[in-house]
Amino acid sequence: MEASERKQGCLFCEIIAGEKESETILENDGFIAIQDKYPKAPVHVLVMPKRHIEWLNDIGAQDAEFCRSMLQFIVEVAEELGITDPGYRVINNVGSGGGQVIFHLHWHLLAGRSAGFNIREQL
């Protein structure tokens, strides 16, 4: 990652740069998936872009290809982990009010137990 693409003091930028330790699940030129250090499910992976983006609100229409690539990478991570069947959850927390703790865009990929609700039962 080039220095211009990272933010000083950002934990995820430090992990991406190899300055902090993490367990990498999958990586390509634009994205990385790592084990969550404090898992909330049997499978809990963090997927993030290598370039620093604060949060989802910073994604604009000009980033359509970036968004497609990131979503495709999330699917590839799920396939790598063998969790595409029976399924998994993908969560993005936006802002401190939405539960975002680290302000580097990232997605939580969770699997291994039921989400605890069935939307069809509520319809």
Name the catalytic one among 44, 52, 104, 106. Answer: 106
106 is catalytic: yes
Residues 6 or more apart whose CB falls under 8 angstroms from that of 76 comprise 26
Tokens of 43: 């499978």
Is residue 105 a contact partner of residue 54, using CB atoms and an 8 Å limit? yes
- Give percent helix, percent strand, percent coil of the chain, each to the nearest 5: 35, 20, 50
Instruction: State the catalytic residues.
Output: 106
